[in-house]
């Protein structure tokens, strides 16, 4: 299950200028704007999140027979981080700082099948005109207090990554990949 899930997610990452930082258990962390700077990092993460949510819910089967499809719980926050390679035996590119913690809290206080954004990130996405967002309202966030958040619902018609042509092509390729990975012996 995790191999299919992560393979589908990895494919979705490959379609956008974002970087997969790490997977820990069932947590999958990506970043936009690093290691290569990008002025559209927030939009790239939002587009990835929308595609990944769709792909996983359609292509990754629950391990429980007859159960619902998997529904990801995702969180997005934007801000500064400290980043660098740490370790010598197994060097890893890591991110540190309040932005990482807040993004994690957006995920942990979210709901299955939803993409929760912090207020500042929601403001950035609204300003682009490329996304549909719904206010969630105040949420008590551990270590942060009460934060106003919103749900990232979809891309608008102006968003090429929300077009039927892009989504159909990406989902077809992700399905081929998921089927191939599922056939491989573990």
- What residues act catalytically? 105, 142
**Helix-helix angle 41-59:2-14, to 10 degrees:** 140
Residue 88 DSSP SS3: coil
Residue 10 DSSP SS3: helix
DSSP string, 130-180: -EEEEEEEEEEETTTEEEEEEEEEEE-TT-GGGSHHHHHHHHHHHHHHHHH
Q: Which neighbouring-strand residues pair with 24?
A: 27
């Amino acid at each position: 299950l995790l191999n299919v899930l992560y393979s589908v997610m990895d494919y979705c990452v490959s379609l956008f200028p974002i970087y997969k930082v790490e997977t820990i258990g069932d947590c999958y962390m990506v970043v936009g704007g690093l290691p290569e700077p990008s002025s559209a990092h927030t939009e790239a993460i939002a587009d990835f999140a929308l595609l990944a949510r769709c792909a996983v819910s359609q292509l990754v089967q629950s391990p429980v027979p007859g159960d619902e499809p998997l529904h990801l719980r995702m969180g997005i926050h934007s801000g500064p981080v400290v980043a660098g390679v740490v370790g010598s035996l197994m060097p890893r590119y890591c991110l540190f700082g309040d932005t990482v913690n807040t993004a994690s809290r957006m995920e942990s206080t979210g709901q299955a099948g939803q993409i929760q954004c912090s207020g500042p990130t929601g403001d950035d996405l609204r300003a682009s005109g490329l996304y549909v967002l719904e206010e969630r309202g105040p949420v008590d966030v551990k270590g942060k207090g009460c934060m106003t958040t919103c749900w990232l619902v979809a891309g608008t018609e102006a968003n090429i990554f929300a077009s039927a042509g892009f989504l159909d092509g990406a989902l077809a390729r992700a399905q081929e990949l998921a089927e191939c990975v599922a056939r491989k012996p573990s």
